Chain A
Amino acid sequence: MRDIILSIQNLNVKFSLRGKTLHAIRDVSLDVYRAESLAIVGESGSGKSVLNKNLVGLLDPNGRIDSGDILYYKKASSASRTTDESVRAESCVNLARLKKEKDWLPIRGREICMIPQDPMTSLNPLKTIGAQLYETVKLHHGMNARQTKEACLSILNDVRIDLPEKRYYQYPHELSGGMRQRIAIAIAIACRPRILICDEPTTALDVTIQAQVLTLLKEIKDKYHLTILFITHDLGVVANIAERVAVMYAGDIVEIGTVDDIFYTPAHPYTWALLSSLPQLCSRGEPLLAIKGTPPSLFKEIQGDPFALRNPNALNIDHMFMPPYYKISDTHQARSWLLDPRAPKVSMPAVIDKIKHLGGTADAV
């Protein structure tokens, strides 16, 4: 049994929009283990960002947690094992019950922190890098001015910024995109959080810079014992950084497993579709396998499996009842009727087998 740091239980999030209710997160349960990196994959609108905004209490004002709990365990279970569950329960915070801004202050930034998507817009253009980093360190550590500055410089060093002393007095516009993303990471880790949420931190960056930022994230994860939640739709990035992957579709987690489970033996038809639309898997001149149709509207209650309408292998039961989770292995489960023992045998599309042979060129280079 691994040590759980965050446990989301039957979470429902709804938004009121123009007099209608949008059910953005539909009964999601998810356990996050301490010091792992979990990637959440899905199309835009699948609710992956909304799910993570709940963890830092930054849901838009028209959204609300309808039901469910988000339990955050501050202390590792090994520390509390001597005095069993009661101590562990004491250190546990239910984030879904926090209402006031004051309640959030000890959590947001200090325990759970988020790296925003776009480094171009998330830094204050009027303040120097140093000033922005300084205010975070000052707020969370309460040291004197000289110590604070030294702490800032050492953090800049940790995120591999050369000449930290010079950068400290520079403004965001003087730095490149990759450097700015490093600053955003520096500000996030300055408060020594336990969980770091990365919301598509590399989409605005070039491939070469992206690779460097990913390496950096892995380094600081080891150094600071971070738990990383990684939101992205780039499967190449997922393969690089994640240990476990959760695939989201229409506000629900349809499949979850280790990165090898998801890439080599995916079980849900949506995961199949996502993987087979990768251009790397297709031969030139042939059309790519695109997922037909659009995700269902979340304004209406969805009858049955939300992916049924776009699934070429949909069964009758898919249109009537929501499938439960089927356990494929200890680490791998998926929500699809195809895994029921009574269902007809539908095997994974053959192209996905090619994934194992991908990256031959990367070896040759």
Chain B
Amino acid sequence: MPFDNPILKTDRLHVSFGRARNKFIAVKDVSFDIYQGETFGLVGESGSGKTTIGRTIIRIHRAYSGSVFFKGQIISGRIERELDRELPQRIQMIFQDPMASLNERAKIDYIVSEGIRGRGLPKKEIDKRVEAALLDVGLLPEFAYRFPHEFSGGQRQRIGIARALIMNPEIIIADEPISALDVSIRAQILNLMADLKKKCGLTYLFISHDLSVMRFICDRIAVIHLGRIVEMAETETLFKHPIHPYTKALLSAVPQPNPQVEKRKKLIVYSPAMHHYDTYLPSFVQIEPDHYVYANTPEIEEYQSAYHQTEPV
């Protein structure tokens, strides 16, 4: 790995909702590292807990056990007030639905600057930073005095990004930032995110269920199923040599814009019942360098032999 220390690290993270009999564990034993300057993808179906992980990192949900580290410093559980105040500057979030995530009754000016208000900055400085943030995302500064309903979906998503950028964050958690957008607008927003990454040295945690987009934007991908990471690898490795049956099922379901391939396609159906975890308990193991799978001992052997067979000699 060409990167040194991880900028963000989760260690055996568990998140649960409710208590006693109604307890529901949404995230189970999730550990991953995100390195400076990379785009790390979390992929899974709805209800798999991928958004919960993102929200736990920015302290919206409390971690039940396990911990989150930001640059080596623990940021989950009880932390000092000063750190709690500083964190939102370092870690920002972009939301899924640009129609729902902006305050309809506030002007863009206020929406974008909300995060830097109340920090003793003079009005002039705030205005200057709003202007710079809007320009960064490809909007005109005069848009600051309009309301969200005057903008199209793509422009609103840009406003959402400007609101995150104005804090000068180091990590942006992008929770399905393009799934509510049109095809033609998606490309614009993805390009913008790639540009900003270069320009501002950002690190992204990209949460999505769209594997075709993830292949384009992510460096490494973790596949989540029912709150647990079942496979984690570099993007191309994952697409070329998926190991876990759930990853295979997910990949087979992605519609390809190629009619001939679609006609021949066979769906792979995954059912958790295919694992027999009674005798041998599964764990998260490394199958090949930087390629981790959740499996038990017999499965590891099976996966490894299957993996070596597919490899051209």
Contacts and interface: CB of A to CB of B under 8 A. Distances in A.
Interface of A: 43-44, 177, 206-212, 214-215, 233-240, 242, 259-260, 263-264, 273-275, 277-280, 282, 284, 287-291, 294, 355-356, 358-359, 361-365
A361 B258 contact: no
Contacts of B212: 236, 278-280
Given A212-B267, A233-B182, A235-B183, A365 B257 contact: no
A170 B205 CA distance: 38
A43 B253 contact: no
Nearest to A262: B259
Given A233-B182, A365-B242, A206 B46 contact: yes
12 contacts: A43-B184, A207-B45, A207-B209, A236-B254, A239-B258, A279-B187, A355-B258, A356-B258, A359-B256, A359-B258, A365-B242, A365-B251
Given A235-B183, A239-B258, A294 B253 contact: no
B255 interface: yes
B183 A43 contact: yes
Given A177-B46, A289-B187, A365-B268, A207 B254 contact: yes
B187 A288 contact: yes
B254 to A, nearest CB: 6
B184 A288 contact: no
B190 interface: yes
B148 to A, nearest CB: 17
B251 A284 contact: no
Contact of A277 (B184, B209, B211): B184
Nearest to A212: B267
Contacts of B254: 207, 236, 362
B152 interface: yes
Given A206-B209, A233-B182, A361-B240, A239 B46 contact: no
B262 interface: yes
Interface in B259-308: 259-262, 264-265, 267-268, 270
A162 to B, nearest CB: 13
Contacts of B270: 208
A21 B99 CA distance: 25
Contacts of B188: 290
A260 B262 CA distance: 11
A44 B182 contact: yes
Contact of A287 (B194, B235, B250): B194
Contacts of A260: 259-260
Contacts of B184: 43, 273-274, 277, 290-291
Contacts of A209: 45
B252 interface: yes
B186 to A, nearest CB: 7
Interface residues of B, number: 48
A215 B253 CA distance: 11
Interface of A is mostly: helix
A43 B185 CA distance: 9
A355 B242 contact: no
A239 B261 CA distance: 9
Contacts of A210: 253, 255
Contact of B183 (A177, A233, A359, A361): A233
A239 B216 contact: no
A207 B246 CA distance: 12
B253 A236 contact: no
A288 B260 CA distance: 24
B139 interface: no
B257 A278 contact: yes
A210 B253 CA distance: 8
A274 B186 CA distance: 11
B255 to A, nearest CB: 3
A365 B248 contact: yes
B255 A279 contact: no
B141 interface: no
A365 B267 CA distance: 10
B182 A43 contact: yes
Interface centre among A44, A208, A284 (most CB of B within 10 A): A208
A207 B259 contact: no
Interface in B195-229: 195, 209-213, 215-217
A142 to B, nearest CB: 39
A274 to B, nearest CB: 6
Nearest to B47: A176
A73 to B, nearest CB: 28
B194 A239 contact: no
Contacts of A264: 259
A279 B213 contact: yes
Contacts of A363: 261, 264
Interface centre among B185, B213, B262, B310 (most CB of A within 10 A): B262
A362 B187 contact: no
Given A288-B187, A291-B184, A361-B240, A234 B255 contact: yes
Contact of A207 (B182, B217, B253): B253
Given A44-B153, A260-B260, A362-B261, A208 B183 contact: no
A290 B267 CA distance: 31
Contact of B45 (A208, A259, A282, A365): A208
Contacts of B25: none
Interface centre among A215, A234, A278 (most CB of B within 10 A): A278
B191 interface: yes
B259 to A, nearest CB: 4
A234 B235 CA distance: 23
